[in-house]
Homo-oligomer: A and B are copies of this chain.
Amino acid sequence: MLKTKKEIILETALHLFADKGYEATPTSLIAKAAGVSEGLIFKHYVSKGNLLEAIVKAGYRRATDKSKSLIEEKDPAKFISNMLDMPLKLVEDERSFWRMQFRLVDEEIAQKHHLRFSHSVKQKLVAAFAQLGYEEPEMETEVLMLLVEGLWKAYLTSADKPHFVKMLDLSKKKYIGELIDNR
């Protein structure tokens, strides 16, 4: 199926935002790279901020779809392990999106979606730790989330998958080693 110019604009902007940053990417450059006129961007997306929002929204929709199987896991130990696997699974095929996303420290739109996404995970994580009898499930969750986010960014910049998998394995051993040794 052919891509509409609207879609081309979106994808081109995503890659440019990921590479150069949102603020540092003028709409004129997006237009040139996408092979369309600058005016067309505004016809389709009204404003630059709106274009960004469309990109972020679409990205998180894909992420939600892709992570569904990991999140629906009922066994608490496996669920925790799944959370550590999320970076690896989600970044695959979506490197540009996540590079862009983790750069958008100043844009509240990006922050909003990130919070919503991680919040939904957090709830289940606390429940999982509680179910396993941990003394401070909330604390455990917060520290684990810190590590997951760190792994996420690490995998984004490393691009060395085997090396990253070693980091991931060590993390699992440290955090839930006793739980997954026999999985």
Contact = CB atoms under 8 A, between A and B. Distances in A.
Interface of A: 21, 23-24, 102-103, 105-106, 136, 139-140, 142-143, 146-147, 149-151, 154, 166-167, 170-171, 174-175
Contact of A142 (B105, B167, B174, B175): B167
Contacts of A151: 146
A146 B154 contact: yes
Contact of A105 (B105, B149, B171): B105
A144 B183 CA distance: 25
A106 B147 CA distance: 23
Given A23-B23, A103-B105, A106-B103, A150 B146 contact: yes
8 contacts: A21-B106, A23-B106, A136-B166, A139-B166, A142-B167, A143-B171, A146-B167, A174-B175
Contacts of A170: 136, 139-140, 143
Contacts of A139: 166-167, 170
A73 to B, nearest CB: 22
